[in-house]
Amino acid sequence: MDALLTALADPARRRLVTLLAERPRSVGVLAQLAEARQPQTTKHLQTLERAGIVISQRSGRRRIYALRPGPLRDLAAELGRLADTADRAGGPRTTYDRYGLSLRAERLAAQGPGWADGRSFRFLQPLVRRPELVWRHLTEPSLLARWWTPDDLRVSELVFEARSGGRIVHEYREAEDADGSAPIAGRAEGVVDDVRPGERLAYRLSPLLPGGGLAFTAHVDLGLRPAGTGTDLDVRWRITDSTVDSADFVAGIEIGFGQSLGKLAAALAADTHDTGSTGSTGTRSTK
């Protein structure tokens, strides 16, 4: 496949392929139609033949070239599969496009300090485990780190002190940055406001701008309500202290936190541990 793509990368060779798609032709005729010198045309045809795109045979004093459709069909099928992968419904490209639309709208709206103050978001997430286990996943750093980022990110440092006044540090990197050599994707710092094990968790969290300043303050309130054998999680976000440069962060709240809650639901569904405790005051997880 690489040889095929390399051979077709040259416009002159693609022109010869186009001519041969119409009918087999001799080197001399191909050179005339392509408005090129014959030695140069011969070299291009030899490259195409080595790549398996054309075949040739001698007829008297002429060498006749013909196109082999098979490799082109194989290439077209492979490119089609790549396009289908990128274009699958609900896939990462859909999320990318959705974020792009939100990003443009928020950047237009960010005309001055406080532009997003008062904005609110609400997330309702049914979970299949009891409030005691959900609480652990909301407050224990080792469990929190499993889900507290969107799909394309991973937690690289986490401090979560599950007590009133407790400190929060949330640093994250790209999920595929396995060795940590790429720049940090983001960092947020905050403080816990209210802790009612198994019932309510409230905290303030501020994403940091590249220069170190605060982008905005998110006031996050998570309520847990028993629902049969599971839990209904009600999450409310409210923004204050928004800066002009916070638009990129605000644009991703709905998509990003929604993905995080999806990961939380999956983590809880896979967690079959008994939950006799009512909470934890975990402090730190670094990955």
CATH number of the domain encompassing residue 151: 3.30.530.20
d(CA 189, CA 206): 5
Same domain, 39 and 175: no
Same domain, 38 and 161: no
Same domain, 139 and 226: yes
The predicted pLDDT at position 283 comes to 53
- The structure's pTM equals 0.78
| C-beta separation of 195 from 163 below 8 A | yes
Alpha helices in 116-213 (DSSP H): 131-139, 141-144
Residues with pLDDT less than 70, the chain: 274-287
| C-beta separation of 270 from 143 below 8 A | no
Residue 91 lies in a domain: no
For residue 154, which of 170, 141, 128, 173 has the smallest C-alpha distance? 173
Reading the block at residue 161, the tokens are: 């002190």
| C-beta separation of 125 from 267 below 8 A | no
Residue 102 lies in a domain: no
Beta bridge partners of 154: 173
Tell me which residue range forms the domain holding 126: 113-286
Same domain, 154 and 280: yes
Same domain, 154 and 78: no
Same domain, 162 and 62: no
SS3 104: helix
